[in-house]
């Protein structure tokens, strides 16, 4: 099937690969008054708040938010709300874009490949067929390994982070690079373990600009064995051209349908950043949900790195988590959503050997 190629505006690349875009756009488009955290009015205390179980993390429930949010008629295409950013004092002193401490002694040092590098758990055990599970992550290195460690999963992790003038899509717009990553990790691990090691289940994971590489990979025949897709605050599309919008999101919409049927696993998180020139991660996530005939629940919960959960949707193994915040710190904090996604993926893989 012919695929419509969509070239994203240069502003998208700048937005997702550099802090300067955040600062310039906020100055140019924000209200000139100081940015403050506007508290949402609390519901009347006549009834106890309703709690919901999070299928991704059953030990941490959410509170249903009955406060009217507007956009009742056009919630799918509505621009994101929650245009504020929590200061460090409201994040427990955490600076989300700064390095966070984690005990990484359970993982080997990074092993370089021709592009990118990988890290394997110490004492990695292959299954009876000599296989191991692999996460291929685009855009982000040490913070991604940090979240994998926090998830307590023992996947082998490959990461690739390109510079602001390089693109992920050209690398994966063909079967060769995907196959080269798999072969490179297999060969290096086989040498280190002294026995043949082969990739079993594969997850494609991305933060920010890395999503375009995932989109390109999903259109290739080699991706038929990809069991999971995880996108962290990075699903964008053209806003003014509906045909281009739908073409950009079609591979993800198709994968979401398979995940909702539990044939695959898919996790998407979005912030409330509102880009002026292209569809936000909120709008794109809502489009996928609406395509399944669903609608997100309005909730509240405090998550790691000062994230404020404001909506969620789950159907089968398709999960969307939406967060407040419209600044660089909120974009960085989104990486903390990986720990729940990786933990849920581990439960899926442990249940289906």
Residue 1 counted as domain residue: no
To which H or E segment does residue 181 belong? Answer: helix 175-193
Mean pLDDT score, 333-351 = 97
pLDDT at 169 over 50: yes
Residue 60 counted as domain residue: yes
* pLDDT score of 330: 98
Residue 30 counted as domain residue: yes
Residue 3 counted as domain residue: no
Residue 43 counted as domain residue: no
Confidence of residue 8 (pLDDT cuts 50, 70, 90): low
More confident residue, 21 or 129: 129
Number of domains in the chain: 1
Range of the domain at 292: 10-35+51-351
* pLDDT score of 25: 34
The mean predicted confidence, pLDDT, of the chain is 88
* pLDDT score of 353: 67
Model pTM above 0.75: yes
Residue 42 counted as domain residue: no
Mean pLDDT score, 3-12 = 47
Do 163 and 120 meet the contact criterion of CB atoms below 8 Å apart?
no
In the chain, the DSSP E strands lie at 51-52, 62-64, 111-112, 117-119, 131-138, 156-160, 198-207, 226-232, 237-238, 265-270, 278-279, 297-303, 307-315, 318-323
Query: What are the tens digits of pLDDT across the range 201-243?
Result: 999 999 999 999 999 999 988 788 899 999 999 999 999 999 9
Do 278 and 244 meet the contact criterion of CB atoms below 8 Å apart?
no
Residue 157 counted as domain residue: yes
Q: What is the CATH number of the domain that holds 215?
A: 3.40.50
Residue 231 counted as domain residue: yes
């Amino acid at each position: 099937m012919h695929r419509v190629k969509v070239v994203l505006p240069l502003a998208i690349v700048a937005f997702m690969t550099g802090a300067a875009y955040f600062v310039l756009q906020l100055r140019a488009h924000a209200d000139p008054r100081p940015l403050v955290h506007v508290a949402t009015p609390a519901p009347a205390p006549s009834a106890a708040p309703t709690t919901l179980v999070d299928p991704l993390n059953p030990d941490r429930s959410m509170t249903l938010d009955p406060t009217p949010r507007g956009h009742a008629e056009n919630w799918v295409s509505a621009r994101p709300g929650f245009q504020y950013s929590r200061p460090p004092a409201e994040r427990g002193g955490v600076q989300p874009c700064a390095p966070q401490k984690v005990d990484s002694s359970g993982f080997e040092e990074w092993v370089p490949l021709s592009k990118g590098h990988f890290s394997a758990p110490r004492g990695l055990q292959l299954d009876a067929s000599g296989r191991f599970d692999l996460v291929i992550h685009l855009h982000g290195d040490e913070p991604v390994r940090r979240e994998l460690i926090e998830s307590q999963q023992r996947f082998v992790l490959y990461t690739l982070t390109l510079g602001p003038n390089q693109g992920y899509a050209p690398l994966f717009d063909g079967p060769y690079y995907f196959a080269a990553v798999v072969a490179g990790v297999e060969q290096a691990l086989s040498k280190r373990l002294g026995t043949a090691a082969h990739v079993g289940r594969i997850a494609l994971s991305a933060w920010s600009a890395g999503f375009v590489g995932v989109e390109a990979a999903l259109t290739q025949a080699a991706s038929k064995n990809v069991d999971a897709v995880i996108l962290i605050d990075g699903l964008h599309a053209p806003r003014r051209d509906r045909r281009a919008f739908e073409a950009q999101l079609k591979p993800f919409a198709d994968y979401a349908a398979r995940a909702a049927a539990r044939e695959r696993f898919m996790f998407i998180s979005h912030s409330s950043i509102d880009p002026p020139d292209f569809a936000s991660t909120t709008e794109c996530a809502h489009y996928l949900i609406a395509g399944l005939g669903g609608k997100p629940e309005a909730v509240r919960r405090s998550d790691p790195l000062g994230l404020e959960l404001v909506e969620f949707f789950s159907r089968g193994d398709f999960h969307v988590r939406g967060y407040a915040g419209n600044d660089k710190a909120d974009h960085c904090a989104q990486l903390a959503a990986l720990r729940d996604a990786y933990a849920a993926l581990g439960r899926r893989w442990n249940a289906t050997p």
